[in-house]
Structure 1
Amino acid sequence: MAKNIQTEIEKLKNQIVFLGTAVQENLQKAVKALWGKNPDLARQVIATDKGEIDSMEISVEEECLRLLALHQPVAGDLRFIVTVLKIDNDLERIGDLAAKIADKVILLHDIDPVHFAADGMQIPEMFNAMFAKTIWMFQNTMEAFVSEDTDLAYKVCLEDDEVDRAKGAIRTEMEEIIMRDPAQQVYLAKLISVARSMERIADHCTNICEDIIYMAQGKIVRHHITR
């Protein structure tokens, strides 16, 4: 029985890594669609989320529940399966947020296709650092899971405040521009929403890393990591 569950746990680990890879690729495409002002790529992101990613998320959940019922695991095996269940949900939410960013690209395009495609609608450069940091957090979150690297998981958690500050700075700048030029309100409000989505993605990465620490060490560190 123990040997059988170890084989199945390894398969489950591969499933969640495959889901994470799909989510990361879709997130990067959403950012690319925004920078490139590409509504067609944005539609691909949304379609992938509603199809492939949602399907994989359900498959992982069903497999976790099957293993719990069939093997009644204990100790480390139980922690692993419970952690995967929680990570599965966080990954699905990150996928939804990537699709939400893609949706904003489509909305911006629909507001004024000619203006959006031209140089008139610029994506502020300060978004670049926020995108880079959030994607870094996601990549290292998945690496921490694969290698059960708690040091890396802690490091990712400590970066969350930087993304929070970036979102706050972006919101402040966008609101100041709106005060000076109310005509840009609709456009800039969509960009504020993008920043909010990236902040939430970073939050989900933090959640996953806290669960990785629990999985590896049996310690619940939620609310106790010093930033």
Structure 2
Amino acid sequence: MSGEHIVRSFEQELQRISNLVTQMGGVAEAQVAAAVKAVAKRDVALAAQVTQADQRLDEYEREIDAEAFRLLALRQPMAQDLREIVSALKIAADLERIGDYAANIAKRSLALAQVPVVRPVVGIPRMGKLVEGILKDVLDAYTERDVAKAVSAWERDQELDDLYTSLFREVLTDMMEDPRNITPCTHLLFMAKNLERIGDHATNVAETIHFLVVGEPLAGERPKSDTSSVTVVGAGETPQEMGNP
């Protein structure tokens, strides 16, 4: 086998693993969108589809892992080629977790659909739209190897944290105003946290893309502004009256 053929074959193998990651990303993106839609529309059938489809992402991750380890063992790649393979492993792991969180949202939407609608539920589609935008941008950035687009998506994580904190306060207020809201609002809290975590994994992907293309970690501290852990809602307060914690 000639050296040129070996190089061409290796490039094709690297492209295949990149294509698998892109395909997996498309499935993860669709899962998140469907889970959020199931909440907004109280669509039990769609929620069930999301939970059942989660195994597709697991299968993609196993295939990417197997292909990556095979290339590491047989090709002993270096520099950019090594970064391609390691990045595929890391991104696949993040996408698998994103799928898990989407499935969790779908499962809770099944329970939420059995109880009366509560006011803060409108915050889930709002958060979902932002998460979907961030996820789409990082997946496009991976396909295009576009560092600027990846960094732009990375910076939007703070906006998502702000939305999460705002929804967190609104849900707590509703729970305090009417104990009958506790059960549905608890589901909303978990859904909102799942979306916030999906955003975190999307920013992980953005950081991996920066490493893949530039060869160095993304400089600077990840923008975070989730203050839900220190949020306190006093009796009779509304989110507008509380100010910053």
TM-score of the superposed pair, with normalisation by structure 1: 0.92
* Partner in structure 1 of residue 178 of structure 2: 181
Say whether residues 1:25 and 2:30 are aligned partners.
Answer: yes
Question: Identity of aligned pairs, percent?
Answer: 30
1:224: Cα distance to partner? 3.7
Query: How far is 1:53 from its partner?
Result: 1.6
What do the CA deviations read for 1:178-212 (whole angstroms, capped 9, x no partner)? 11111110100100111100000000010000000
CA pair 195-222 structure 1, distance change in 2 beyond 3 A:
farther
Q: TM-score, normalised by structure 2?
A: 0.85
Q: Name which of 169, 173, 181 aligns with 1:172.
A: 169
65, 85, 89: which one pairs with 1:85? 89
What is the aligned length?
A: 219
Once the two structures are superposed, residues 44-96 of structure 1 have per-residue CA deviations (whole angstroms, 9 ceiling, x without a partner) of 1011002x221111111111111111101001000010001000000000000
Q: Which has the larger radius of gyration?
A: 2
One-letter amino acid of the structure 2 residue matched with residue 84 of structure 1: A
Letter in 1 for 2:64: V
- Cα displacement (A) at 1:122: 5.0
Determine if contact 1:210/1:222 at 8 Å carries over to the other structure.
no
Does structure 2 conserve the Cα–Cα contact (< 8 Å) formed by 1:156 and 1:209? Answer: yes
* 1:121 positional shift: 4.2
The answer to whether the Cα contact below 8 Å between 2:157 and 2:223 also exists between their aligned partners in 1 is no
Contact 1:213–1:220 (Cα < 8 Å) also in 2: yes
Cα distance change, pair 226–55 in 1 and its aligned pair in 2 (3 A): closer
Counterpart in the other structure of 1:67: 71
Quick one: which of 53, 59, 64 aligns to 2:57?
A: 53
CA contact (8 A) 1:64 1:81 kept: yes
C-alpha distance 226-96 of structure 1, shift in aligned 2 (>3 A): closer
The amino acid across from 2:83 in the alignment is R
1:2 is aligned with what amino acid?
V
The aligned amino acid for 1:104 is R
Equivalent residue number for residue 9 of structure 2:
4
More displaced, 150-159 or 35-44? 35-44
Q: Structure 1 regions of 5+ residues with no counterpart?
A: none
The answer to whether residue 145 in structure 2 is matched with residue 140 in structure 1 is no
Gaps of 5+ in 2: 1-5, 225-245
1:137 to partner: Cα distance: 0.3
